[in-house]
Amino acid sequence: MLCGMTRCPIIEQVISHTRMWRSVKGTDINGSSPPSVFVGRFGYPYVQIGPMTPSSFGDTSLLDDTERWFGRSMDEIIDFRSQLVRGMTVVNIKHTEKAGRLLNATREISLASHYVETEMKLAKPPMKRLQLDNDLQPLGPTAPLQHLDLGYIKWEPHMEKAHYDVDLKAVEAARSLYKNGVPINSIMRAFSMGSFGVEKNRRLVPTRWSITAIDDLLSKDMANRTKDYPIINQYEVYESEYLGNRFEILLVPDAWSYEAYEAWYPRTLWNPSETHVNIITDWEGYKGRATYASMGGCYYSGRLAVLEHLIKIRRQAKVFIFREAYPDYILPVGVWQVRENCRNAMRHEPQCYNTLEASLNRVMSRLSISLEKWVESGPLLRHTLTQRKLTEFFDSRTNLVVIV
């Protein structure tokens, strides 16, 4: 406990890995893939790809379905990840044809609509090694993949259609699939395997990049659509707390814009300081942003969750997401946690207020960091608090300018 965390992330992973290693015998891994695949990013454009499967059969879909994980404990999530054995082979994303059958079979898994019976022959037993990294979620064991056989497999119909349409751009395919109700988790998985897009442009995309790419392109489309909707008529506050993370989401009656905050407490994952809170923020105005957000994928996953709500109610708003991460958040579990936390917040009835001051009082009563600290870090919130609009000087009854 010298690190200051409330629980030891090393011990938690050791416990889960020990249970898994007892069920893995030799180099033959037979089980039902959730379905799940992985595309690495290290060594790019030479990346490691392959299927992930547990050494058990049946409906294993929960092991890689992050959209069903909200409310699960940290122990359960570590266990889900640790059960999946990764069989990996190196592929050059510009010359995927050289990967042959292993690549094709892995892509088939990525397009599946259900769990797939999988037989993996590994070149050597999976390594009994823990990977502890602030940028990586818990992962199971890995070994070079030698051979891969699949049982009965049925592709998701909409993804199958998009896969065979070699003239359909990947962005358009992703948007169409989402509108047809295909889970985001499934779209990301197939997108990472280069399953969509104009045929000559299809590329493998590292799993981590594909998650952010899908969150970004889907939410960017939603932001453009919500601009055609009327503005909300009151200040709304939505709240959620899960896995040592607290989220306060404030919707302001104004044209679309967005600012996200992350506050990491001392002795948390991305803040080793023992005394100071570290606040990270990114924002965009009405026209969006052209550069990648410094806080990474969390910016886009939060934006997606709130915009799903705005599209549903057919309204637009100025959006602020405040996140405080506490020492209880002992391991990074992935940006899905931000997306699902924000989705959970937006599912509940909001606290409604008539003024910005009253709504911010509610938000700050739920957070530990003072308003002054948030304002210092974020330009959009500072602008909202200090700038007045011309419309404030109009008399709504006469449309005359009021001279003050």
pLDDT-derived band of residue 399, with 50, 70 and 90 as boundaries?
low
19: left (phi over 0), alpha (psi -120 to 50) or beta: alpha
Checking if the pLDDT of 23 tops 70, the result is: no
More confident residue, 26 or 124: 124
- Per-residue pLDDT, 10: 55
What span, in angstroms and rounded, lies between the C-alpha atoms of 130 and 122? 19
Which is more confidently placed, 240 or 330? 240
In single-letter form, the type of residue at position 403 comes to: I
- DSSP track, 351-384: EEESSHHHHHHHHHHH-SS-HHHHHHH-HHHHHH
Q: What is the DSSP letter of 3?
A: T
CA 180 to mean position of chain CA atoms: 20
pLDDT average, residue stretch 141-158 = 93
- Percent share of the chain, pLDDT over 70: 85
Strand order in the sheet with 245-252: 278-284, 257-264, 318-325, 245-252, 235-242, 351-353
At 125, is the pLDDT very low, low, confident or very high (cuts 50, 70, 90)?
confident
Mean pLDDT check: name the lowest of 338-347, 352-361, 382-391: 382-391
pLDDT in tens, 276-298: 788 999 999 999 999 999 999 99
Pick the more confident residue, 95 or 114: 114
Cβ partners under 8 Å of residue 281, min gap 6: 259, 260, 261, 262, 295, 377, 378
Is 295 within 8 Å of 233 (Cβ atoms)? no
Write the pLDDT tens digit of every residue in 206-258: 999 999 999 999 999 999 999 999 999 999 999 999 999 999 999 999 999 99
Residue 324 has pLDDT above 90, yes or no: yes
Q: Which of 98, 97, 117 is nearest to 51 (CA)?
A: 117
pTM of the model: 0.89
The pLDDT value given to residue 134: 47
- Identify the CA nearest to 186 among candidates 211, 213, 206, 165: 211
The terminus-to-terminus CA distance of the chain in angstroms comes to 61
